[in-house]
Structure 1
Amino acid sequence: MKFNAMSRRDFVQLCGLSAAGIALSGSLAACGSSSSGTASSAKSGSSYTLVKSGKLTMISNFYFPPFVSMNEKTGDFEGFDVDVYKAVCKKLKLKPRILPSVQFDTIVPTIKQGGKADVSIGAITITDDRKKEIDFSNPYLDSNQSIVVKKGSAATTQDQLNAKGMQIAVQSGTTGESWAQENLPKATIVPLDDIIQAMTGVQTGLYNACVADLPVTSYEIKQAYSDLEIPEGGEIPTGEQYGIVVSKKNPGLTKAINKALKELKSDGTMDSLEKKWFGTTI
């Protein structure tokens, strides 16, 4: 997944979000210490700075289930990546501090600039271009892209969708958008705020297809979009890997996170979280 502008406000209820929950998340994120600080990890042998002393401050775009989303009943952030983040916090003996949802295109600049958040996690693909701006942790999950169409659609293959007049929805700034632009040059690529808006547009017939991360589209089809499908040949083997975003100015934190991720893999935590959110290990 990449970063760019996206609008989800008209689709909040469709992805199980409430205005009250959003307001609650903002107020919760605002609580806590206002002082920055340094920390050290005996296990990783590294020192690092933190935006808030004793806390690992995280930003993400919380419209990408099952990785990052918001529980409509409690207003709490949840998802596979939220659980990974909290597990990392526990390993580092830091308290979680999650800020309100942001747009994808603000994540890299925010982490690069520093002062607001320490890390970002949320199905963020490790790419060479991004690594020029920020650091990534070691990869913690593999992923591919996918094409999603409405069941019964006449155009389902890459060749059929790569035609004048075809409208392909993507999440703006994502690797799905990059793939669509490169492989469907004859079609019109429509960048949107989030995957929920893209899939809803395919569902209503506004778009012919959408391209997005396979784990997310598979999950959403099972949860809320039974009239959509990933057609035969619709799984795109892009071989992506997700990583946690950290500032280049904070290499000690990257080192500590890598140590934590290694421990979470070896002690079985990562496998347990994958089974919890995906039904199996990935």
Structure 2
Amino acid sequence: MTRRPTLKVFAVLPALAIMLAGCGDASAPSGDGSSADGGPELVNEGKLTNCTGLPYKPFEYEEGGEVIGFDIDLMDLVAKELGVEQDVVDTPFDGIQSGADFNAGKCDLSSAGMTITDERKQNIDFSDPYFDATQALVAKKGSGIASLDDLEGKRLGVQNSTTGQTYAAENAQGAESVVFEDLGLLLQAVETGAVDAGINDNGVLYDWVKEKTDFEVVTEFDTGEQYGIGMRKGNTALADVVNKVLADAKASGEYDRIYEKWFGTKPGAN
């Protein structure tokens, strides 16, 4: 697969964003996202620009100055279908799930381990589901924490703008929620004891405890979540391509190969 460097992107000041919008940013596509030849219109010529929030191992993370992961391999397939290369943009997750990054022409799509929700559908469009997930709780071994009830009066780490944060707000009201901008900061707080436990998607937490053997995933919550690739609302031209690539990859066995590469097992295997 083609490796690529991470492009760090910082939030644009609101006043500047308004000024650029007033000037009519040509990079921001409109309508159904079709180009003159009927294919998807891309915000950067010759590139499929993918906004994501790092780190989110094993879905997307930086290693040796390159961004790799399960989601990245899948989006390489989309880029190949379009005859371009993937360019990964690291940006805060809130700008992705709110649709702001797409509307500003920052990226074409987002593979970010992002759960499809009705609230997010108001701001962005999703591909067909491509991954099943659920929320889970991680804590230090021997901590005595086995459920959210055990966090009464304790500190629970959550990631900003995620379904884990929402689940904690609704189901862990006896705990003090401590909000972190990304998964890396959340897990660092769990490791140092700055928080007593952390909540996030099960895939990333199980991956983390493989190396951090003093910690364990103490429980999962049946939230029945599914990930989707996010895109600007109304960008049907790109959505059609992404859905075709995902369906073809599953039919050919390529999806299973990529899945096993990053998770060590085939989909659905225990």
TM norm. shorter chain > 0.5: yes
Q: CA deviation at 1:201?
A: 1.6
| TM-score, with structure 1 as normaliser | 0.80
Hey, what does 1:193 align to over in structure 2? 181
Q: Which amino acid aligns with 2:39?
A: S
SS at 2:99 equivalent:
helix
Distance 2:266 2:228 in 1: 17
Residue 260 (1) aligns with residue 248 (2): no
Q: CA deviation at 1:39?
A: 4.4
Residue 64 (1) aligns with residue 56 (2): yes
Distance 2:188 2:87 in 1: 31
Hey, what does 1:178 align to over in structure 2? 166
Distance 1:140 1:128 in 2: 17
Q: CA deviation at 1:110?
A: 3.1
Hey, what does 2:20 align to over in structure 1? none
Q: CA deviation at 1:193?
A: 1.7
Among the aligned pairs, what percent are the same residue? 37
SS at 1:50 equivalent:
coil
Q: Deviations over 1:183-210 (max 9, x none)?
A: 0011111111222222222222221111
SS at 2:41 equivalent:
strand
Distance 2:84 2:36 in 1: 11
Asked whether the equivalents of residues 78 and 241 of structure 2 are also in contact (C-alpha less than 8 Å), the reply is no
Hey, what does 1:103 align to over in structure 2? 92
Q: CA deviation at 1:98?
A: 1.9
Asked whether the equivalents of residues 170 and 212 of structure 1 are also in contact (C-alpha less than 8 Å), the reply is yes
Q: CA deviation at 1:134?
A: 0.8
Hey, what does 1:220 align to over in structure 2? 208
Distance 1:137 1:114 in 2: 20
Residue 137 (1) aligns with residue 127 (2): yes
Asked whether the equivalents of residues 54 and 182 of structure 2 are also in contact (C-alpha less than 8 Å), the reply is no
Residue 94 (1) aligns with residue 75 (2): no
Asked whether the equivalents of residues 58 and 98 of structure 1 are also in contact (C-alpha less than 8 Å), the reply is yes
Hey, what does 1:124 align to over in structure 2? 114
Change (3 A) 1:147 1:40: farther
Q: CA deviation at 1:138?
A: 0.3
Q: CA deviation at 1:95?
A: 2.0
Q: Deviations over 1:5-54 (max 9, x none)?
A: xxxxxxxxxxxxxxxxx9x6338xxxxxxx8595489xxxx633211223
Distance 1:26 1:253 in 2: 22
Match of 1:275 among 256, 260, 267: 260
Hey, what does 2:231 align to over in structure 1? 246
SS at 1:47 equivalent:
coil
Superposed structure 1 runs of 4+ greater than 4 Å apart? 35-41
Q: CA RMSD in A?
A: 2.1
- Following superposition of structure 1 onto structure 2, how do residues 6-155 of structure 1 map, counting pairs within 5 Å? 25-26=6-7, 39=35, 47-71=39-63, 73=64, 75-99=65-89, 101-107=90-96, 108-155=98-145
Distance 2:142 2:188 in 1: 16
Change (3 A) 1:220 1:40: farther
Q: Which amino acid aligns with 2:48?
A: L
Distance 1:60 1:195 in 2: 12
Q: CA deviation at 1:160?
A: 1.5
Asked whether the equivalents of residues 110 and 117 of structure 1 are also in contact (C-alpha less than 8 Å), the reply is no
* Structure 2 unpaired stretches of 5+: 9-25
Asked whether the equivalents of residues 111 and 246 of structure 1 are also in contact (C-alpha less than 8 Å), the reply is no
Asked whether the equivalents of residues 114 and 247 of structure 1 are also in contact (C-alpha less than 8 Å), the reply is no
More divergent stretch after superposition (236-245 vs 109-118): 109-118
More divergent stretch after superposition (54-63 vs 263-272): 54-63
